[in-house]
Chain A
């Protein structure tokens, strides 16, 4: 196995992780600030992808499509917050799980009703398509490189927002003591709507970015949602840094596991059963990782409080 191939696989793992981060960041913020578990976050991912596909189809512009994804998901998020989520803050997690599970059903079938049952078309713009040469003789997809860069910029931006801005102060205050910030005269319901819309917009953006290289279809959000949960459990709830590191860990484990486990097993058994057994174990790799982290640190790598 060549160096270039291993490097390429590591890049793939990082890129997968970065996309997970966009999902996990919103989830973890929403949980940290409002104490809300949102199963419908995957639906916002889907909304972003569908909005992008629709706008790209109408205008042909990828940038407009991304903008549409951000806007549509943010609006959908704000609406959901105002109509449904708002009534759930005081309730226990069980009600939140059920209500957001109901939202998934409504979003999924609603989207299918609007857009039909077939996958939509969304593609990489021509100026980002094709491979580029990286140092060390690695050929890598330009679009994926752009995804990594964009994800890192967003992560940096989020970090700065949390540590440097007024909203960030409110978010951190809200995480520590929810009653306190209300007492300080901050309009808490506006803050909640804002945070929810921000999380939704991030998920929608991820949906659009990923939708360009995958398939835009109903139900695309749920597998990503569950992976994002694994990320949060590993990284620790409420921590943006934890979400970033957790995402990349999960991305690397999943990608490298599915590539190298079957190959490693080939040393001890025949090729065909090595592939079968290796893939079976690789499909569980991230959950095993999660179990190990739990035994070691029950509140996740960066989750101090609980």
Chain B
């Protein structure tokens, strides 16, 4: 019995070797992203954007292996091991959350593989922990918060009430806002991660003397906060990063989000041919408007394709230079990579509007032009 099992196994391995032999010249991309459980919407958008770009490129020599990390760091680490050890991928991408990225990226790059981030940009990977094989196609985590601070200055606010969940990304966000906001801070609040009732915080906002509220509450937390805030009758204007005003969740927030200003490096109405074509084809393919995350997945794939046009992954130095050049038509318009391989780009201020029955965003101004990140100087590369 045991021998038979071994025989079957040997046959299976032989078959796998043959397949690998035929597919020798192909580039294999491993995508680890969140497709089940809470937060699956973000991963699905990144995946759909990425696959759309691969499809439009018409290249059949790029094979993408997609796997679901369930938003669990240990599963993500295990998937990365699997993709490198048994699938033999050349490039990894897809991770949504900073904590998962911190668990996976250092070991991936240490093994000589490339990683292109379509979303998470933790400060450690932009500063001291930067790596020649790590590229971030979206933003450094602080960027959109810094932009919110800059926008608050230009809007003439002088006293902000700021709040975020009590976890590292939350702290980074408030630090990012304060880095550029020149006014005073009325109060600084850390809420529980996953908190859904913000009555206590809103009461404090009401009692404060602030002229503006900055908040970073991703996912369901932001929906809850905005609904309760608009119902409370407090009319101090609110600003935030794009995460709580993204296409995916805006419909769930509804009227409560109307008129709120948020900052983003991408918007559906950025006026360039690539973006117009992307929005149209995404809608045609999937039957919904693309989100920020979809645009980031789309850009990450096009960045990869542009590099593959110039060099093979096997030639690591040439491939790295090709990635660094970022010569492709991004949906956000032109941007370039800084020395730490994070984007130097324009960040817009958008306002939530209603188009027919659908809530969406409209650009109302520019918060930053050619904005880099605060950690680049710490990167020795």
Contacts and interface: CB of A to CB of B under 8 A. Distances in A.
A and B touch in the complex (CB under 8 A): yes
B232 A119 contact: no
A263 B191 CA distance: 13
Interface stretch (B80-88, B106-114, B249-257, B265-273): B249-257
A120 B190 CA distance: 26
B223 A214 contact: yes
Nearest to B35: A117
Nearest to A219: B38
Interface in A262-297: 262, 271-272, 275-276, 279-280, 282-283
Contacts of B253: 121
Contact of B231 (A4, A118, A141): A141
B378 interface: no
Contacts of A118: 41, 248-249, 251-252
Interface string A1-42: 110110011001001100000000000000000000000000
7 contacts: A2-B207, A117-B40, A118-B41, A141-B232, A143-B231, A215-B227, A259-B200
A139 interface: yes
Given A119-B220, A119-B249, A12 B200 contact: yes
A301 interface: no
B58 interface: no
A222 B311 CA distance: 49
B252 A279 contact: no
Given A5-B204, A118-B41, A279-B190, A215 B232 contact: no
A283 B38 CA distance: 21
A131 interface: yes
A231 interface: no
A222 to B, nearest CB: 10
Contacts of B283: none
Contacts of B40: 112, 117
B188 A123 contact: no
B166 A283 contact: yes
B36 A112 contact: yes
A212 B44 CA distance: 26
Contacts of A112: 36, 40
Interface in A183-239: 210, 212-220, 223
Nearest to A216: B252
Interface string A109-128: 10010001111110110000
B257 to A, nearest CB: 11
A109 B204 contact: no
A220 B44 contact: no
Chain B: interface size category: 35 or more
Contacts of A108: 37
Contacts of A131: 231-233
Interface string B183-219: 0000011111010110110011011000000000001
A117 B41 contact: yes
A215 B191 contact: no
Interface string B156-190: 00000000001000010000000000000000111
B254 A258 contact: no
Contact of A213 (B38, B191, B231): B231
A215 B252 contact: yes
A255 interface: yes
Contacts of A117: 40-41, 44
A12 B188 CA distance: 20
A115 B189 CA distance: 34
A130 B203 contact: no
A119 B220 CA distance: 7
A108 to B, nearest CB: 8
Contacts of B325: none
A119 B223 contact: yes
B379 interface: no
Contacts of A144: 199
Interface in B56-105: none
A214 B249 contact: no
A259 B204 contact: yes
Given A118-B248, A121-B254, A141-B232, 5 more contacts: A9-B200, A141-B231, A215-B224, A258-B192, A279-B192
A280 B166 contact: yes
B207 to A, nearest CB: 5
A259 B256 CA distance: 25
Contacts of B306: none
Contacts of A1: 207
Contacts of A275: 188-190
Most B-side CB within 10 Å, residue of A4, A121, A144: A121
A120 B252 CA distance: 5
B175 to A, nearest CB: 10
Contacts of B252: 118-121, 215-217
